[in-house]
Amino acid sequence: MKFLDAEFVQGFIRMGDDGWQQGWHERNGGNLSYRVKPEEVELVKENFEPKEWKPIGTSVPQLAGEYFLVTGSGKFFRNLIIKPEDSMCMIELDDKGENYRIVWGLVNGGRPTSELPSHLMNHEVKKIATNGKYRVIYHAHTTNIIALTFVLPLKDEVFTRELWEMATECPVVFPSGIGVVPWMVPGGRDIAVATSKLMKDYDLAIWAHHGMFAAGEDFDLTFGLMHTAEKSAEILVKALSMSPNKLQTITAQNFRDLAKDFNVSLPEKFLFEK
């Protein structure tokens, strides 16, 4: 099978284009990765042209020998749909999870996203936590979330509660809440470690003044998670622009009632009285 004809490759490209259409990926902003299933690797293996091994910049032993689709560093999401072979690549990790090599893509040169350590460390956390179910990690520059990081306290409890209150489906879509990483230099090990710690408890993490990081089982669920949180943030931005105070909102008891009817568990640390 031709590489670009594979369903998982088409799903990857579509998700990247969806993010571009939302306005979340100016220039070369944002990145996306997918942990490829063994049977999917077999489908496209005939297209591989392995390059030299290079260090990841961190160690992810639980991902040793696995393959990932990733966007390229400095590449534009708007080009994923028109020249994917130049905008993305598939990489293979070595038997220790310390090095990677490109086996397909980036035909005009380049390397995987500069956020590769963050992606792989979070893939490892989610693989362990979900018994292998989670396969997608997504980072986008979500406009309204970024705006809120300048005016709300950078606390998990504050962001979770505010976003839950803005859209009734939010506590159902991300019942475990949302974590917040204070501003850090992107692309290095420090921000990767900080994010992976949060991802043990959450599927969503906010990078202050930068964007969001999301994890999920597949492309639809992960994009939907990011989309839901960003839409809730947009409602909050609009509400705050009209008035700094809410006349009414969803209460802590309302959330408890919702959790019971929708059969979800909402941590009490988010259900404080305001």
Residues belonging to the active site: 115
* Beta-carbon contacts of residue 106 (< 8 Å; ≥ 6 apart): 72, 85, 86, 88, 89, 112
Q: What is the DSSP string of 151-213?
A: TS-S-HHHHHHHHHHH-TTHHHHSTT--EEEPP--TTSHHHHHHHHHHTTT-SEEEETTTEEE
- Give the integer Cα–Cα distance in Å for 10 and 28: 20
* Residues comprising the chain, all counted: 274
Helix pair 156-166, 219-242: axis angle to 10 deg: 90
Residue 28 corresponds to which tokens in the numbers above?
Answer: 């070369």
Nearest in space to 215 (alpha carbons), one of 93, 129, 97? 129
- Give the integer Cα–Cα distance in Å for 231 and 234: 5
Question: What secondary structure letter does DSSP report for 93?
Answer: E
